[in-house]
Chains A and B, each alone.
Chain A
């Protein structure tokens, strides 16, 4: 590894490097954490040489050591390997659920914001009904009816979190709709569709970039919560919530079974949140 090839100033224009150096430490660390987990999700075998399912009964419940940095579980499986391999499912659920809830929210929010009194009233009342149920309860109901799997978890968490986003988008759409530049665009004779596409939609969506980033971390926590309650993917899957659930019984004897997957969840949720806040600040700064 030679520093000269890695030195960005050699390849990237100086201005860009200057910008990069202005990134504060915290978001940089967060980005590194996210990068690590993305790597774990895409190419887990690069981060560990072990099989996440391989049992080793004589070495069950070993405390963290050099050979097993996160310790081993009740069947002697290497916990670090399981956390790494569990990343894909956990991230998939986080991204999938956020994507789904955003898709639902955009449709509902935009229709509600632009669709006139009847649509707005109808959608708003339904959202209020959904709001009456806590997210976790809605998600649990859904999983109970359709059975636990990655797909149902995505749909459950996605549906559960959609009403919140829909509200937010509706508010944005309403604010943008009544703004001066939209009025100006109308006055200039642009068609409704053009105004919607070029002015309302992009301006209403921009603040959501940050919200989405925050939402991914939150969705991973929801999904892990479901798995912890036994409503997630079934063991021996290394999904993080399932790891927490399986290790719960051993908490007095093998703390690492709870602490290590817990730290992974905390790390990704924190990292996503920090990045989200950073983006939010940037965007707000850009607008003002």
Chain B
């Protein structure tokens, strides 16, 4: 059984960057490995590093030496009290916050590891036809949903139909235009037919949105029931959900379908997980510090240094679209490429991010794909450095030559005012809001007037800010295990026009063509070459200005072992977790 975390991949580039590309960074371990990285010596010597190693040796990776006794004796059972930031309206759905929850209950066909490779989960093996249009999945046998019905090829096929029939918008964003049909060849063989080759398919399937639900439940129960308490074959079942407080996951005693990269097969070690929702940063971290919680998600950056010596802290840099400012390319000042470029040049974005996140969350210069994504174009990361002289020159060229009494540039009497919309506390954390405030001040000398418009989750998800007249820039991210996220964010046409995920409203047939070529490339390497070209083109056009990476973090108390963050988008996994005495 592969319990082992993939080893750190040596690289000739900056070691800290390599660590990020690796995705999951267990604080401490990576410091030891990236010998010579900035401050590595100091931190390696710290208790944090040792504890990080302990956490890993406990899972049998053998990567960190002999210490292990301090972890204590393993005890079976118990309840993990986990405190999380966000409470989504439902457990199953198309938002990453829902994938975090549904991961506890649903198994997917495949799982992605940190190095980007795909390993078996519900599908034991798979193959694709010569023309890349027919995928055949061989399912594990003897797996049952928690309602007693079998996980067979028909059930999985029904799930494909359910997703593409409108059951999950995010699944649709990935596969709608490629999926043609699926059928059960026999009880354990599923055949999926595509209309065109689609290289990101397996990566996409590894995400929580693609969790397989009981076909009987999908058919017989209401949409609401399936969304609030999905029935799958996963390590837990959904118990009591007290809105605004917590949801309880009960152990599935018959669980026999853990992914190959899990640390053990068979039922979860603990009896249950009480997943509470504590939006306030101080209270959430306080609950861990006081022992009220055994684990917390989204460790506040201000508490990171405090947390490291006391708890096991893991940080996962999510792949996909980073937290980026999408610039409105069809209405307002950003319709002019020069103004967009000037905006990118006008702030010291690295300083802005490092200061707001106290150096805990990495700066992401690339506006379209984050640094931990396979297929990330590292070359364009150097573009648009902090250069206000260049920004001024570009704005002059663009005709924004006058300035008013406040120093704001004007053109034909219009102020160079930029409305930045962001979902505060739903999409953007308070630290992110601070970064925006820093940015707001930094672009002032160039003559930009930035208005920050924090909006509520209800307004944002309700579509109040989905049209070109509602903002000049919007801050957002989209986690995805593949650079194929470009397809979601920058294609022109979707089944339901307009493409709501194209928050820059940017349509360019040539770039779309590159993305489509990548999607249909015969190998991942070739696909990534095209994706890299598309990133280059999008960077040239400055349609999105990168700020920081979306991260998923978890801090666990010293007596809770083997909580891990999976690698498709940082979903926390409690199936392998156990308490020690």
Contacts and interface: CB of A to CB of B under 8 A. Distances in A.
Interface in B429-459: 430, 433-434, 437-438, 440-442, 452, 454
B325 interface: no
A236 B302 contact: no
B132 interface: no
B282 interface: yes
Contacts of B355: 57, 60, 74-76
Nearest to B437: A236
A75 B434 contact: yes
A74 B282 contact: no
A180 B433 CA distance: 63
Nearest to A57: B355
Interface stretch (A9-17, A22-30, A39-47, A249-257): A249-257
A235 B282 contact: no
A248 B282 contact: yes
Given A75-B355, A252-B302, A54 B282 contact: no
A234 interface: yes
A30 to B, nearest CB: 33
Contact of A54 (B306, B430, B441, B454): B441
Question: Which 8 residue pairs are nearest across A and B when measured between Cβ atoms?
Answer: A57-B355, A55-B441, A236-B437, A57-B351, A249-B281, A75-B438, A60-B355, A74-B434
Interface residues of A, number: 18
Contacts of B454: 234
Contacts of A201: none
A58 to B, nearest CB: 8
Interface residues of B, number: 22
A33 B433 CA distance: 34
A53 interface: yes
**Which of B281, B352, B438 has its CB near the most chain A CB atoms (within 10 A)?**
B438
Nearest to A59: B355
A53 B440 CA distance: 10
A75 B302 contact: no
Contact of B437 (A75, A249, A250): A75
B302 A253 contact: yes
B268 interface: no
Contacts of A236: 437, 440, 452
Contacts of B408: none
A55 B442 contact: yes
A252 B441 contact: no
Contacts of B438: 55, 57, 75
- Chain B interface mostly helix, strand, loop or mixed? helix
B200 interface: no
Contacts of A250: 302
A234 B452 contact: yes
B282 A249 contact: yes
Contacts of A251: 282
Contacts of B452: 234-236
Given A75-B438, A235-B452, A246-B430, 9 more contacts: A55-B437, A60-B355, A74-B355, A75-B437, A234-B454, A235-B437, A236-B437, A248-B282, A250-B302
28 contacts: A53-B441, A54-B441, A55-B438, A55-B442, A57-B348, A57-B352, A57-B354, A57-B355, A57-B438, A60-B355, A74-B356, A74-B434, A75-B355, A75-B356, A75-B434, A75-B438, A234-B452, A234-B454, A235-B437, A235-B452, A246-B434, A249-B282, A249-B430, A250-B302, A251-B282, A252-B282, A252-B302, A253-B302
Interface string B150-185: 000000000000000000000000000000000000
B303 interface: yes
B300 interface: yes
Interface in B228-281: 281
A11 B342 CA distance: 63
Interface in B291-343: 300, 302-303, 306
Contacts of A249: 281-282, 300, 302, 430
Interface of A: 53-55, 57, 60, 74-76, 234-236, 246, 248-253
B300 A235 contact: no
A252 B303 contact: yes
B246 to A, nearest CB: 22
**Which of A53, A74, A235 has its CB near the most chain B CB atoms (within 10 A)?**
A74
**Which of A75, A76, A246, A249 has its CB near the most chain B CB atoms (within 10 A)?**
A249
Contacts of A53: 441
A74 B306 CA distance: 17
B430 to A, nearest CB: 6
A277 B303 CA distance: 44
Contacts of B354: 57
**Which of B351, B430, B454 has its CB near the most chain A CB atoms (within 10 A)?**
B430
A248 B354 CA distance: 20
B286 to A, nearest CB: 9
A236 B437 CA distance: 7
Nearest to B442: A55
A75 B303 CA distance: 17
A234 B425 CA distance: 14
Nearest to B439: A55
A115 B454 CA distance: 47
Contacts of A234: 452, 454
A246 B282 CA distance: 12
Contacts of B437: 55, 75, 235-236
A206 B372 CA distance: 70
Contacts of A55: 437-438, 441-442
Contacts of A235: 433, 437, 452
Contacts of A248: 282
Contacts of B306: 252
A236 B302 CA distance: 19
Interface string B89-132: 00000000000000000000000000000000000000000000
A109 B154 CA distance: 73
A285 B441 CA distance: 55
B126 to A, nearest CB: 46
Nearest to A144: B456
Nearest to B352: A57
Nearest to A74: B434
A171 to B, nearest CB: 41
